[in-house]
Structure 1
Amino acid sequence: MNRIFKYSICLILLFSVSQLVAQEIKWELIAPGVWKGSVGKPESYNLLTAAGAKPAINGLKDMGEASFPLVKEEITGKLTDGKTYLRFPLDKNEQIYGFGLNFQTVHQRGKILKLHVDHFGGKDNGRTHAPTPFYVSSNGYGVFVNSARYLDIYAGTAVKREGKNVPEAKDRNTDKTWSSRPYSDGVEILVPAEGVEFYVFAGPKPLDAIRRYNLLNGGGVLPPRWGLGFTQRVKTLYTSADVEAEVKAFEDKGFPLDFIGLEPGWQSKAYPCTFEWDKTRFPEPSAFVKSLLNKGIRVNLWTNPYVSPQASIYNSIKPFTADRTVWLGAIPDLTMPEARDILFSQLKKSQVDIGVSGYKFDEVDGYDHYLWPDLTTFPSGKSAEQMRQTYGLLIQRYSAEMYHERNQRTYGLVRGSNGGGASMPYVIYNDYYNHEDFITALINSGFAGVLWTPEARASKTEEEWLRRMQSVVFSPMAMINAWSTGTKPWSYPKVEQQVKDIALLRMQMMPYWYSEFAKYHFQGIPPFRAMNLEDGYQADVKKEIKTTNLEENPYVEAVSKEVKDQYMAGEYLLVAPMFAGKETRTVILPKGKWFDFYTGAYAGDGEVITVTPGLDKIPVYVKDGGIVPMGPALMHAPKSTEKLDLEIRYYGSKPGKYMLYDDDGETFNYEKGAYSFREINVAKDGNGKLKTAISGAAKGKPNTINKVSFKAMTK
């Protein structure tokens, strides 16, 4: 018996040791500069399968070949306790960015996170609307972990007992250089599954790695032109007459409007939803939608996906729903074709087929107290955890497919997303309302492969309202969300004219915004992104900024200051928002000459400037040689058959080039080649006279451009 006992103990010990042995990583070259690694037995359901993401191969090929950016032997994977442990090397002078839609921090080194789809709760702890498991390094590479699980991230926090970069232990009593957070040379990720696949993206620059990540996910979304216009979301219980009166007020006051958002009151019941029109508030839905379309106004409908017991589809969809509810509504298992067919057939029949142009999908993120718990079961067999991490992806994917089948682009709102969702035609929003943090989220959206809107709802003062509206104009969706307040653009009379001016500027800039989104789609370049992705950017400071929810980060060697309040918008623009109560602010200009967007005046070169822009303007700067195509200040985005005169604005003195995108603005015909990039070139000769050129319209391609003029902004 004793011998058998000892033999059993040996087997147990041998099994335990084997569980800790490093696993072989299988590598596969997916596309130029993109490698897939796999450890153990990766789960078949992951973020990319949920999103249905298909790599934009042509865009990846256009980026060209690149060398593997890390030492493969320093990337390790282990299986232990039924979980997969990944470790990636981290240099001492390296900063990392990403890990989802964070609202308060841009630098992620030294952070411990639990990546978990949730409503943002006030701290950057990994629980957020899009906890994308992708990070990019200042050394010019990226890493994406393709798992639909809650991931534990140790972003340079744990120190191995033995390794090549183990720091020296110091005596806190006598050594002033002692740190409670000593240098760690690894990013460590714990995946609660017996295997996982992950991707490594080459640079050579950080922006190149981000581009490859976005292109792996199909490239960024290309919205319809009208999606880049203005949207007003009306009060919850508005009737069709109320909506029509509001549309008339926009027209009478000369404020642009492209799509109007109806909130829960359009449905007969909400929280949970029937997905059916309320006939007391909207007695003739088809006529109502058609009437607005005839005026150039699209309709966007709020909903959440939880099915009311009073819904006409409840009994048929019930077998394909979870065993728990949300607000007593059934939760469709969107991984099952049966559930999707029932739900989206209802949306198609009663809404899309009569002309509804898009949706706002609410409550697919959190909180825990109303969303399904992790013990919930789904009829497909997918775990509640996997469904939580991917539900936002699923609702985006299959609603977008409805419109794709109609050859009709859409652009809407969603509360939850994740890795794989870059090509989805949705912008994230939430119920948080801190202006400064909204800008930080906009910056971080460029690392997460998502879009974010710093929407305006209401304000305590006229100044705050104007400052918020200025930020809205330089964002992916120019939106007022008045579901509760009923706020209008003109609700603050003292700044009504300034709000109108900035709204019209948004419409004038439509050619620029549309071209920048085309580059997002075809080239993977985020239209809104962090300053550290801009060539020549260097914020040289001695100390890392503290945050409200994190100890001081000791990695002062990680290149630059954490800048959370200015960003790049498209190829040439640097935007530095103003916040209520602030008359001046500092702006960090990258190396190279920069010029004032409004006047063309020289602003600086690789320096920190202090500006006092006045209430009327949000500080915006253009790099030397910058070209910004401008159109007329229309009340609605141009129609597919409409030709517009363009004014090409040119800044500085350096020769400039710009690729101006054109297609019909509404359909998916661009996927079949019905688009063009027209090259614009501007330079000054020895006498300061402009030399200009724009390539001709491609034969057989859409052409929405009429007369073209050029304007030198810098005298």
Structure 2
Amino acid sequence: MKFTDGFWLMRDGVEASYATEVRDVRADADRFTAFAAIKRVERRGDTLNSPLLTVDCFSPAEGVIGVRVTHLAGSRRRGPEFELPGAHPQAGTVRRDGSVVELTSGALSVRLDEAAPWTLSFRDADGHEITSAGRKGTAFFTTDDGAHHMAGQLTLGVGEQVYGLGERFTPFVKNGQVVDMWQADGGTSSEQAYKNVPFSLHVSPAGAHGVFVSHPGRVSYEVGSESVGQMQFSVEDQTLEYYVVAGPTPKDVLRRYTALTGRPALPPAWSFGLWLTTSFTTQYDEETVTSFVDGMAEREIPLSVFHFDCFWMREYQWSDFAWDPDVFPDPEGMLARLKERGLKISVWINPYIAQKSALFEEGAAEGYFVTRPNGDIWQWDLWQAGMALVDFTNPRACAWFQAKLKVLLDQGVDCFKTDFGERIPTDVVWHDGSDPERMHNYYTHLYNRTVFELLEKERGSGEAVLFARSGTAGGQQFPVHWGGDCWSSFGAMAESLRGGLSLSLSGFGFWSHDIGGFEGTPDPAVFKRWLAFGLLSSHSRLHGSSSYRVPWEFGDEAVDVARRFTLLKHRLMPYLYGAAAEARATGVPLMRPMLLEFPADPTARALDRQYMLGPDLLVAPVFSAEGDVEYYLPEGTWTHLLTGERVQGPAWRHERHGFDSLPLYVREGAVLPFGADDQRPDGDWLDGLTLLVAPGADDVTVTVPDHDGGVAATYRVTRDAETGAVSVTAAGDGAVPEIQNL
């Protein structure tokens, strides 16, 4: 939210109060509290009729410093609050040196000088300032309509670029943008977002740091927009709490941030295979489903998951979790027949209960729905007629919802597509008394957690996986998330990738999208290019709105492309699942913006049409029918995985690719474990394993994961300095795999 009118003036109806002078500091061993007047105090009378801001500085974890700024402390905290599972009290140490008080936590410190004008200076381990809340950096604003906003401003250094803030489809670098944290079902073509995460990653020539605003409601960002040298964030509240997260590298920031807010679970290996759906409004029954599965098998395209979208349930009755008996008279038998073919089963759900559903009366009688202040159940007709909203702040409602889903699991369903969760009203009352404004964004966290915990309980922790659309901070713990409703065009393909890369810099380790686009029917060229991109993403799903997405609908060449890249992804699984296990352990995502691997390369920092898939594979999707593509290779020798071509970077490349190809390069010094089984993602990765050895891999230790994300085998690859011959040894008694020089 903008409060000023240019540099000199305030906007009409806005009154500003800035922390100006330190009046007192109370320090403990691990934290300090400063009291800041909003004007210079020249005489005793200046202390009257004037606010005093309370500023608490503390550390919840190593390398993270929290700041809590409060104007009026008597406001009742109704919640919800972001959960911080990695918080550890007393992680910092306070020292005083004359008028200076400093809190240090690992490689990060915050310094306040009582004798100087108000400034919170955040510094790295060498004492260099990485950002500060200076002259206007700690403030509150009141407006003529009675609103009260707390605001923080942190300086942006020269060359500092800002990323993240959730899955945003606007430009990848957020400098100059106005961003509001407010869940919305806005598709992928607007400034709205399904996944709003109030965490920003800051990268500059001097290093990296992060900023997490711990407020689950609306947070309004001005990223070098209102004040071009500052990032401002504000909330309508009496308190503002934010955390500065140390680097020095972008990966270090993500490690610390996800350690605090929660690391992603490891999705099961089978979920990395190809998912095929019925699509949304298309006509389908068991015969149709079987024809799709048969068609994929006849064309030798391995399929891992089949998904039933909304109309598996009866019209006007979503979600009642009951199969439409006119279309699916024998759901248990049908699921058993599909599972006999080695398929996992996914079904669509959402947290809305239509009035026509028998569950509406049941939930209403038990008080499981969100109500209006007068006690009426909140309802509307947008999406489903007379629908109500399950109140996941009510533990009994959560158990009731889980019991309905358990019936489906007992029938043979393996996972759920947890759609929606964004259209959450604010004129309501929650069971636990939560603040409706704060619950609007946070609702999706409770929704996805409720479903994910059921899957962990019934299927085991290593088998739980969602296909979720909405999310917020901490939601990365419940993968996988997909990009939502996009058009079937090259532009939408590119904006989807921007959104996914933005989400990956917000702590989310796994991400997917609708191959071919959701709305409309893609041109065959769009579909074929999107196939290659989709099958070189974390998770891969064929899905559409009003038309099917089976490859033969788009021609024989589309079938060939689908087969080629599905088989390739399966063979890459020993490598991909190792990167997935790394995401679980460290929070570093599977699909990585170039700046994560090459933070010192200024060209890499703005790239949003290519990415690293794990640490060693560069992918540059093709966004044109003709196959023209422009991409960048950082410094080093890069080897094309499909052709063996070597290219020396740094270099910009302009090429034309057929539909069966795209820029797919192996990084210098890498050793890729490459499986022999191209028919399934969860096979025996050690059977017939080949190690692909890139130039520069002179002494590399490589591990192959097991299906739990542990270590199945470890190998050491060495190169003779004189002959250049490569050899491999296995740790323990394991068999030695084949070696192939790239």
Letter in 1 for 2:164: G
Structure 1: how far apart are the matches of 2:500 and 2:182?
A: 19
Deviation at 1:240, TM superposition (A): 2.5
Assess if the C-alpha contact under 8 Å between 1:600 and 1:651 holds in 2: no
Deviation at 1:493, TM superposition (A): 2.4
Structure 1: how far apart are the matches of 2:77 and 2:666?
A: 47
Letter in 2 for 1:489: P
Structure 1: how far apart are the matches of 2:167 and 2:196?
A: 6
Deviation at 1:624, TM superposition (A): 0.7
Structure 2: how far apart are the matches of 1:561 and 1:522?
A: 25
Assess if the C-alpha contact under 8 Å between 1:307 and 1:331 holds in 2: yes
Structure 2: how far apart are the matches of 1:447 and 1:653?
A: 29
The match for 1:357 among 400, 410, 414 is: 414
Deviation at 1:155, TM superposition (A): 1.4
Letter in 2 for 1:502: F
1 or 2, which has the higher strand percentage?
2
Assess if the C-alpha contact under 8 Å between 1:101 and 1:129 holds in 2: yes
What secondary structure sits across from 1:251 in the alignment? helix
Structure 1: how far apart are the matches of 2:547 and 2:140?
A: 52
Correspondence for 1:171: none
Structure-2 change in CA distance of 1:656 and 1:157 (3 Å): farther
Structure 1: how far apart are the matches of 2:699 and 2:482?
A: 34
Structure 2: how far apart are the matches of 1:128 and 1:372?
A: 14
Deviation at 1:440, TM superposition (A): 1.3
What secondary structure sits across from 2:171 in the alignment? coil
Deviation at 1:483, TM superposition (A): 4.8
Structure-2 change in CA distance of 1:663 and 1:305 (3 Å): same
The match for 1:330 among 370, 388, 392 is: 388
The match for 2:224 among 132, 156, 159 is: 156
The match for 2:718 among 683, 689, 692 is: 683
Deviation at 1:454, TM superposition (A): 3.1
Residue correspondence of structure 1 range 132-531 to structure 2 within 5 A: 132-138=197-203, 139-159=207-227, 183-184=228-229, 186-236=230-280, 237-270=283-316, 272-318=318-364, 319-323=367-371, 324-326=378-380, 327=384, 328-348=386-406, 350-365=407-422, 371-406=423-458, 407-408=460-461, 409-433=463-487, 434-450=492-508, 451-457=510-516, 460-495=522-557, 496-531=559-594
CA displacement 1:519-573 (0-9 Å, x = unmatched): 0001111111211222365355xxxxxxxxxxxxxxxxxxx77322111110101
User: Is the counterpart of residue 106 in structure 1 residue 172 in structure 2?
Assistant: yes
Larger RCO (CA under 8 A, 6+ residues apart): 1
User: Is the counterpart of residue 569 in structure 1 residue 637 in structure 2?
Assistant: no
Deviation at 1:638, TM superposition (A): 2.7
Structure-2 change in CA distance of 1:583 and 1:676 (3 Å): closer
Assess if the C-alpha contact under 8 Å between 1:88 and 1:188 holds in 2: yes
Deviation at 1:25, TM superposition (A): 2.4
What secondary structure sits across from 1:430 in the alignment? coil
Assess if the C-alpha contact under 8 Å between 1:655 and 1:681 holds in 2: no
Letter in 2 for 1:133: P
Structure-2 change in CA distance of 1:285 and 1:642 (3 Å): farther
Structure 1: how far apart are the matches of 2:359 and 2:46?
A: 56
Structure 2: how far apart are the matches of 1:95 and 1:210?
A: 16
- Provide TM-score, normalisation by structure 1: 0.82
CA displacement 1:319-355 (0-9 Å, x = unmatched): 221232243111011111021111111111x201222
Structure-2 change in CA distance of 1:428 and 1:16 (3 Å): farther
What secondary structure sits across from 1:564 in the alignment? coil
Structure 1: how far apart are the matches of 2:355 and 2:736?
A: 57
- Provide TM-score, normalisation by structure 2: 0.79
Deviation at 1:192, TM superposition (A): 1.7
Letter in 2 for 1:104: T
What secondary structure sits across from 2:157 in the alignment? coil
What secondary structure sits across from 1:254 in the alignment? coil
Assess if the C-alpha contact under 8 Å between 2:189 and 2:495 holds in 1: no
What secondary structure sits across from 1:590 in the alignment? strand
Structure 2: how far apart are the matches of 1:124 and 1:77?
A: 31
Correspondence for 1:168: none
Deviation at 1:680, TM superposition (A): 3.3
Structure-2 change in CA distance of 1:308 and 1:427 (3 Å): same
Correspondence for 2:185: 119
CA displacement 1:8-65 (0-9 Å, x = unmatched): xxxx9978730xx44312312x33222333233594634533xxx63399xx9xxxx8
Greater shift, 34-43 or 412-421, is seen at: 34-43
The match for 1:653 among 680, 692, 696 is: 696
Structure-2 change in CA distance of 1:501 and 1:273 (3 Å): same
The number of residue pairs the alignment matches comes to 625
Greater than 6 Å deviation, 4+ residue runs: 12-16
CA displacement 1:45-97 (0-9 Å, x = unmatched): 34533xxx63399xx9xxxx841166544335444544322222221221111
Letter in 2 for 1:48: F
What secondary structure sits across from 2:208 in the alignment? coil
Structure-2 change in CA distance of 1:396 and 1:377 (3 Å): same
What secondary structure sits across from 2:212 in the alignment? strand
Greater shift, 198-207 or 517-526, is seen at: 198-207
The match for 2:628 among 584, 607, 628 is: 584
Letter in 1 for 2:446: L
Structure-2 change in CA distance of 1:77 and 1:537 (3 Å): closer
CA displacement 1:121-140 (0-9 Å, x = unmatched): 56664x30111100111131
Structure 1: how far apart are the matches of 2:278 and 2:370?
A: 32
Structure-2 change in CA distance of 1:372 and 1:142 (3 Å): closer
Correspondence for 1:619: 663
Deviation at 1:418, TM superposition (A): 0.6
The match for 1:55 among 86, 92, 104 is: 86
Assess if the C-alpha contact under 8 Å between 1:659 and 1:677 holds in 2: no
Structure 1: how far apart are the matches of 2:605 and 2:235?
A: 31
Structure-2 change in CA distance of 1:308 and 1:607 (3 Å): same
What secondary structure sits across from 1:592 in the alignment? strand
What secondary structure sits across from 2:568 in the alignment? helix
| Structure 2 stretches lacking a partner, 5+ long | 1-44, 92-104, 112-119, 122-131, 143-147, 372-377
Give the fraction of aligned pairs with identical amino acids, expressed as a percent.
21
Assess if the C-alpha contact under 8 Å between 1:78 and 1:86 holds in 2: yes
CA displacement 1:271-307 (0-9 Å, x = unmatched): 6421212122222222222222222101100121111
Structure-2 change in CA distance of 1:235 and 1:526 (3 Å): closer
Correspondence for 2:129: none
What secondary structure sits across from 1:351 in the alignment? helix
What secondary structure sits across from 1:513 in the alignment? helix
Deviation at 1:581, TM superposition (A): 3.0
What secondary structure sits across from 2:514 in the alignment? coil
Structure 1: how far apart are the matches of 2:264 and 2:724?
A: 39
Assess if the C-alpha contact under 8 Å between 2:515 and 2:543 holds in 1: yes
Letter in 1 for 2:417: K
Structure-2 change in CA distance of 1:643 and 1:657 (3 Å): closer
Greater shift, 580-589 or 410-419, is seen at: 580-589
Structure 1: how far apart are the matches of 2:426 and 2:49?
A: 28
| Structure 1 stretches lacking a partner, 5+ long | 1-11, 160-182, 366-370, 541-559, 698-704
Structure 2: how far apart are the matches of 1:288 and 1:267?
A: 15
Structure 2: how far apart are the matches of 1:402 and 1:390?
A: 19
Structure 2: how far apart are the matches of 1:391 and 1:525?
A: 25
Assess if the C-alpha contact under 8 Å between 1:376 and 1:383 holds in 2: no
Greater shift, 615-624 or 79-88, is seen at: 79-88
Q: What CA RMSD, in Å, does the superposition of the two structures yield over aligned residues?
A: 2.8
Deviation at 1:151, TM superposition (A): 0.7
Assess if the C-alpha contact under 8 Å between 1:230 and 1:258 holds in 2: yes
Letter in 2 for 1:499: A
Correspondence for 1:178: none
